[in-house]
Amino acid sequence: MRALLLGQLVLVLTHDAAARGQLRLLERFAERTELVVALGPGNALSDSAREALRRWPALVAVELHFPLNEQDAGTLRKLGRLAVRLPATASAVAASAPGAAPGPRAAPIAPLSLREARRAQPTLALLGPALVRVERAAEAPLAPGPCPGSKERVLPDGASELRLESAVSQCDLDWLRAHLEPHPEPPGELPAEMLPPAPSSPRHE
């Protein structure tokens, strides 16, 4: 994966990781990442996961499975704020709408509008005002990530996606720190010719 810039990492966690309270380990990176929680096939959201998402200091996106039913939509609406990340299949449906250019590159890179998303997945309307925006999931294949149990890919807009398929490990945390936290130059590491001059002593008349 290429070197990361601040705000260019999409971090995808499982519902179980959120339910086990592992979002607390990642709060220090909230301003530098976009958090996505991948829900299971039934879109169920446990009480513990819902509370973890409420505490997250930034907007959270969720990956849903369609169609969405009223019960799960009601649970998601209780969050008050969320984004929905459409799977690649939903993006393809929207791209094949009348007027779309033919071919594999027909899908635009820009996120789907809410109208386009609801045309592709009508049950999105069940989310009502809780839906903040709809994001297109990447269609690029996943590759092995930097740590065991992780996968990665580059998104169409150039951002990087890192998916953690199980619990957040120490390796994951070390990788995130190395790529997302500033690294001030340690004192004394510069060559002598690059060090600032020592302050001169005051002259006494």
Q: Is 64's pLDDT higher than 50?
A: yes
- Contact by Cβ (8 Å): 154, 171: no
Question: Cα(156)–Cα(161) distance, rounded to whole angstroms?
Answer: 10
Q: Which of 7-16, 81-90, 134-143 has the highest mean pLDDT?
A: 7-16
Q: Which distant-in-sequence residues (6+ apart) come within 8 Å of 96 by Cβ? A: 106
pLDDT higher for 79 or 164? 164
First to last CA, the chain: 62
Question: Cα(138)–Cα(71) distance, rounded to whole angstroms?
Answer: 28
Q: How confident is residue 79, by pLDDT bands cut at 50, 70 and 90?
A: confident
- Contact by Cβ (8 Å): 116, 97: yes
Q: What's the one-letter identity of residue 169? A: S
Question: Which of 37-41, 69-73, 78-82 is predicted least confidently?
Answer: 78-82
- Contact by Cβ (8 Å): 185, 194: no
| Domain spans in the chain, listed from the N-terminal domain onward | 9-182
List the structure tokens of 95.
Answer: 């791209």
Q: What is the CA radius of gyration of the chain?
A: 22
Mean pLDDT, rounded, for 5-32: 88
User: How much of the chain is helix, strand and coil, in % rounded to 5?
Assistant: 35, 20, 50
Q: How confident is residue 199, by pLDDT bands cut at 50, 70 and 90?
A: low
pLDDT higher for 67 or 105? 67
